[in-house]
């Protein structure tokens, strides 16, 4: 993967940061794209990557991110669509603006970034798109209508793009983790406790790990290792797949 150009969205924190670090270790030229300039710049500096600020809910900023990367490094070889957030609310109270934003960041942005990177990957006859979906791309839980709808959508996008990319050496896959120890998870413990009327420590044991055969939160590095494998030539025949890292959640 020496000198491959990798764009990692949401690379300032959590899973994205671990992915950026891993791809950098493997010799990629990594661009961290995030809307948070403080954490984005700090992560890029610590890792030795480049930071480009982008709010991926904005279509124009998605286009500009790919253009800036191509100008800087000449191409986009690996695209990791990872940026995301969560909103917890029953459907009857679900804010429409949150619904629109969840779909914009976690479904439309992956489509746009892929659309703008595609001609370069096609020309190079090599490309990797890895969409960080979720176990919630396969099964549902209450109070997460926007998140779960966006994540299910990204599986359809993954399969369609995989079919179109095959003849050009472009693979497109999704990774579906259960609960990973990141700020996104830590921040939703209080929200879940309030919405469900339970204590915060019960959220981890009774909600987050309820369906897991292995009763522990997953570490971001475990997801980063699978990204690295899917981005490598070892995975050149794997495309259109949705791989779980879910501690056995969907085995039942």
Task: Name the residues annotated as catalytic.
Answer: 147
Question: Of the candidates 36, 98, 202, 241, which one interacts with ligand NAD according to CB under 6 A?
Answer: 36
69 binding ligand NAD? (CB under 6 A) = no
83 scored as a contact of ligand NAD (CB under 6 A): yes
16: contact with ligand NAD by CB under 6 A: yes
CB of 128 to ligand NAD, least distance (A): 17
Among 10, 110, 127, 153, binds ligand NAD (CB under 6 A): 10
Report in angstroms how near the CB of residue 204 gets to ligand NAD at its nearest: 11
Tokens encoding 5: 């150009």
Task: CB nearer to ligand NAD: give 13 or 75.
Answer: 13
Residue 105 binding ligand NAD, by CB under 6 A: yes
- As to burial, measured by CB atoms within 10 angstroms (0-12 exposed, 13-18 middle, 19+ buried), residue 139 is middle
Q: Which is nearer to ligand NAD, 27 or 183 (CB)?
A: 183
- Tell me which DSSP letter residue 106 carries: I
In DSSP terms, 176 is beta-bridged to: 244
Residue 248 binding ligand NAD, by CB under 6 A: no
DSSP structural state of residue 240: S
Q: How far is the CB of 75 from ligand NAD (least distance, A)?
A: 22
Query: Nearer Cβ to ligand NAD, position 13 or 126?
Result: 13
Paired strand residues for 170:
127
Question: Residue 185 interacts with ligand NAD (CB under 6 A)?
Answer: yes
Give the E-state strand segments of the chain in sequence order.
5-9, 29-34, 50-53, 78-81, 127-132, 170-177, 242-245
110 binds ligand NAD (CB under 6 A): no
Task: Please enumerate in sequence order all residues whose Cβ is within 8 A of that of 134, keeping only pairs 6 or more positions apart, or say none.
Answer: 147, 151, 176, 177
Write b or e for each residue in 9-19: b if 16 or more Cβ atoms lie within 10 A of its Cβ, otherwise e. bbbbbbbbbbb
Q: What whole-number distance in Å separates Cα of residue 137 and Cα of residue 74?
A: 33
Contacting residue, 5, 20, 35, 110, with ligand NAD by CB under 6 A: 35
Output 126 or 136, the one with its CB closest to ligand NAD: 136
Total number of residues that touch ligand NAD (CB under 6 A):
29
| Residue 219 engages ligand NAD in binding (rule: CB under 6 A) | no
> What count of other Cβ atoms lies within 10 Å of the Cβ of residue 63?
15
- The answer to whether the beta carbons of residues 169 and 246 sit under 8 Å apart is no
CB 55 to ligand NAD: min, Å: 5
Q: Can you tell me the distance from the alpha carbon of 158 to that of 55, in angstroms, rounded to the nearest whole number?
A: 22
Q: Which residues of the chain form contacts with ligand NAD (CB under 6 A)?
A: 10, 12-16, 34-36, 39, 54-57, 82-85, 105-106, 132, 134, 177, 179-180, 182-185
């Amino acid at each position: 993967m020496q000198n491959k150009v990798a764009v990692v969205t949401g690379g300032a924190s959590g899973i994205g940061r671990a992915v950026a670090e891993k791809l950098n270790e493997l010799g990629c030229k990594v661009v961290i794209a995030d809307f948070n300039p403080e954490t984005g710049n700090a992560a890029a500096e610590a890792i030795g990557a480049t930071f480009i600020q982008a709010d991926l809910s904005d279509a124009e900023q998605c286009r500009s991110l790919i253009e800036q990367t191509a100008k800087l490094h000449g191409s986009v070889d690996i695209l990791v669509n990872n940026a995301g957030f969560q909103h917890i609310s029953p459907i009857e109270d679900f804010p429409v603006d949150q619904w629109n934003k969840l779909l914009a960041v976690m479904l439309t942005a992956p489509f746009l970034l892929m659309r703008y990177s595609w001609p370069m990957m096609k020309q190079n006859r090599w490309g990797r798109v890895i969409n960080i979906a979720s176990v919630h791309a396969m099964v549902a839980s209450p109070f997460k209508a926007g998140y779960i709808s966006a994540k299910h959508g990204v599986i359809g996008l993954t399969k369609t793009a995989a079919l179109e990319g095959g003849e050009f050496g472009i693979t497109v896959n999704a990774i579906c983790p259960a609960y990973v120890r990141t700020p996104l998870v830590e921040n939703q413990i209080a929200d879940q406790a309030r919405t469900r009327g339970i204590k915060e420590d019960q959220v981890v044991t009774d909600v987050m790990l309820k369906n897991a055969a292995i009763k522990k939160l997953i570490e971001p590095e475990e997801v980063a290792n699978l990204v690295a494998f899917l981005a490598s030539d070892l995975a050149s025949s794997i495309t259109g797949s949705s791989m779980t890292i879910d501690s056995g959640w969907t085995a039942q």
